[in-house]
Amino acid sequence: MNFKDKKILIGISGGIAAYKIASLVSRLSQEGAEVHVIMTEHACEFISPLTMETLSGQKCCTDTFDRSRPFEVEHIEVTKDADLYLIAPATANVIAKVACGIADDMLTTTFLAADCPKMVAPAMNTRMYSNQITQDNLDRLRKYEIEVIDPMVGHLACGDTGAGKMPSPEDLYAAMERRIARKKDLAGKRVLVTAGATCESMDPVRFITNHSSGKMGFAMAKECMLRGAEVILVKAATTATPPQFCQIAEAKSAEELFKTVKRLAVNADVVIMAAAVADYTPAEYVDHKVKKKDGELSVELKRTVDILAHIGARKRPEQFFCGFSMETENLIENSTAKLQKKNLDMIIANSLVDAGSGFQTDTNKVTIIRPEGVERCELMSKEMVAKTVIDRIADEING
């Protein structure tokens, strides 16, 4: 719900991708944003302003001389207190105009008048997009801190294939969210997050794993990304969808995770170890499928490396390490012992016995433990848990 009470301006110019913006407007409105849609005359050929009015619940502006309220200059009025202005799709023509400060219709006039963060999502024929004139215009926009959302490569409406396809409404939403959802209090920080369950193979068919869904780790990674951090997300097994704008590395087993984390932790300002790591792995890997026989089967297990303890012992004073602790009894005592033993700055303790907490759920009830004390949190969504935890981490590392 990062768009609640935000005032969002969406400019639509005349490209076939205009129809895709309807679902973006609908989603933003449903999340409680005040969405104002501004359309060029050509955009109105592709999709009706009535569609946008119906989905946004706001008058759709298409003409600079149209005044909804007496004595207000609408092209200035609509931009006041705006949190974000996105032009999508942005045609080559509109990009050229706004790059030069031309303001000859409602869209270009409001874009020039708005002093909020601005973004454009180019969508056009691939030869128009790659033309140096368009590229120079986009560079000019970047120079003015107008974010350009790169188009995708794909099949274009004109029949050509290449760069010029507007990203999906979901991708536009994610880019907008990244731009305005949080203050960038982790800008310049490199954060390493691990998530998911490790898998310890016995043979090419079978493995030992656990119930971790990866959702908590993904929520932590997303929260750090929204705050401007460079996030490296190492994911073990998970079926959840990883957040956008994070570098993703994969590590299946505890051993692979150890090698990857050991390498990456050296250059991280913050390490958040949310992965559920196996403490034991089969002592021997059999390289063919083990056939069943009469009687019982015993599998010998050996200890894995405690990754956090290993990197914790090498932690530099300016680094901040956060672990997770899953317990079914003596939550605070056992988790505090892990905090000390692994030389951590924070450990997030969750009890498997609390309703709505733990594996696979979308909610969690955690206790934040630091050397200075214990903070018990209410049951919250995993996103809210991540926000609360990262608030504390940001406060601590920013002094």
Catalytic annotation, residues: 158
Q: Is residue 393 a contact residue for ligand CTP (CB under 6 A)?
A: no
CB of 118 closer than 8 Å to CB of 149: no
Stretch that binds ligand CTP, among 11-19, 22-30, 84-92, 320-328 (CB under 6 A): 320-328
Stretch that binds ligand CTP, among 58-66, 131-139, 293-301, 319-327 (CB under 6 A): 319-327
Among 171, 203, 306, 391, binds ligand CTP (CB under 6 A): 306
17 or 311, CB closer to ligand CTP? 311
CB of 155 closer than 8 Å to CB of 16: no
Q: Is residue 254 a contact residue for ligand CTP (CB under 6 A)?
A: yes
The interface with ligand CTP within residues 182-241 (CB under 6 A) comprises none
Cβ partners under 8 Å of residue 135, min gap 6:
none
Among 307, 339, 386, 394, binds ligand CTP (CB under 6 A): 307
Cα–Cα dist 159/136, whole Å: 25
State the number of CA atoms in the 13 A half-sphere of 134 facing the CB.
Answer: 23
Query: 378 in helix, strand or coil?
Result: strand
Stretch that binds ligand CTP, among 152-160, 225-233, 240-248, 302-310 (CB under 6 A): 302-310
Characterize 136-159 residue by residue with b for buried, 16 or more Cβ atoms within 10 angstroms of its Cβ, and e for exposed.
ebbeebeeeebbbbebeeeebeee
Q: Is residue 273 a contact residue for ligand CTP (CB under 6 A)?
A: yes
Q: Is residue 282 a contact residue for ligand CTP (CB under 6 A)?
A: no
Cα–Cα dist 172/47, whole Å: 18
Q: Is residue 250 a contact residue for ligand CTP (CB under 6 A)?
A: no
Cα dihedral 311→342→307→269 (10° resolution): -40
Q: Is residue 277 a contact residue for ligand CTP (CB under 6 A)?
A: yes
Cα–Cα dist 395/108, whole Å: 40
Determine the longest span between alpha carbons in the chain, in angstroms.
90
Amino acid at 98: V
Q: Is residue 275 a contact residue for ligand CTP (CB under 6 A)?
A: yes
Q: Is residue 81 a contact residue for ligand CTP (CB under 6 A)?
A: no
Q: Is residue 324 a contact residue for ligand CTP (CB under 6 A)?
A: yes
Q: Is residue 304 a contact residue for ligand CTP (CB under 6 A)?
A: yes
Smallest distance from ligand CTP to CB 305, Å: 6
Q: Is residue 338 a contact residue for ligand CTP (CB under 6 A)?
A: yes
31 or 306, CB closer to ligand CTP? 306
Task: Count interface residues toward ligand CTP (CB under 6 A).
Answer: 14
Sheet architecture: strand order including 118-122: 34-39, 7-12, 84-90, 118-122, 146-148
- Interacting residues with ligand CTP (CB under 6 A): 254, 273, 275, 277, 279, 304, 306-308, 323-326, 338
